[in-house]
Chains A and B, each alone.
Chain A
Amino acid sequence: AQSVAQPEDQVNVAEGNPLTVKCTYSVSGNPYLFWYVQYPNRGLQFLLKYITGDNLVKGSYGFEAEFNKSQTSFHLKKPSALVSDSALYFCAVRESLYSGGGADGLTFGKGTHLIIQP
């Protein structure tokens, strides 16, 4: 069974400082990894994904994430935080299938509240 761990319930960062939101995963095969952001009273918004290729992937709003296979991690990063980045962030995984396709459901972590202080 696949699983995702987000070890921090909350991360506090001063505006302008770099931020990291941690995520580790467990799958039996190769992982497809995702980050989503949720603002209050809104649905989940897709930020970025890792499917294959470069371990550093870039996404929306200046976010990036680094896939580390040996550490089974996919931490979300941003060089300079904005107050508007304050939200709930979810890491998700699905196991790659030989047959490919998008029909598989995602397994989510419990989420990390990111608070950017002015």
Chain B
Amino acid sequence: EPEVTQTPSHQVTQMGQEVILRCVPISNHLYFYWYRQILGQKVEFLVSFYNNEISEKSEIFDDQFSVERPDGSNFTLKIRSTKLEDSAMYFCASSGTSGASSYEQYFGPGTRLTVT
């Protein structure tokens, strides 16, 4: 069964450093998302991406964040200058091609980002 994959599983970085979190969505999906979950809190939407551009972003997704689909398979989240409060589990998700299946978002296992 196809699944969303994410690398690395755990990333430790120092405050102020740039990090890139990587995701490989399900191959025939067209919609891509990033979410984060701060420890002990709810899952929060960051951004959605469709047709090579951002479709929607939350107020969390400020100028420090960017997303890119550099090739036909990867989807990345970049944080330019990490802050302590960026420490969280980051989930990538993707959803299908059209109709009702486009609403079913499939999540990867997450990347735990620790900013020290």
Write out, one digit per residue, whether chain A residues 76-97 have a CB within 8 A of any chain B CB (1) or not (0): 0000000000000010101000
Interface residues, chain B, with chain A CB atoms under 8 Å away: 4, 30-31, 33, 35, 41-48, 50, 55-56, 58, 91, 93, 95-96, 100, 102-110
Task: Point out the residue from B30, B48, B100 that lies within 8 Å of A105, measured CB to CB.
Answer: B48
B48 near A103 with CB under 8 A, answer yes
Whether A107 sits at the interface, judged by CB under 8 Å, is yes
A103 near B55 with CB under 8 A, answer yes
Task: Point out the residue from B42, B109, B110 that lies within 8 Å of A111, measured CB to CB.
Answer: B42
Interface residues, chain A, with chain B CB atoms under 8 Å away: 32, 34, 36, 41-46, 49, 51, 90, 92, 94, 101-111
Complex CA gap A32/B108 in Å reads 21
A51 near B103 with CB under 8 A, answer yes
Task: Point out the residue from A44, A92, A111 that lies within 8 Å of B91, measured CB to CB.
Answer: A44
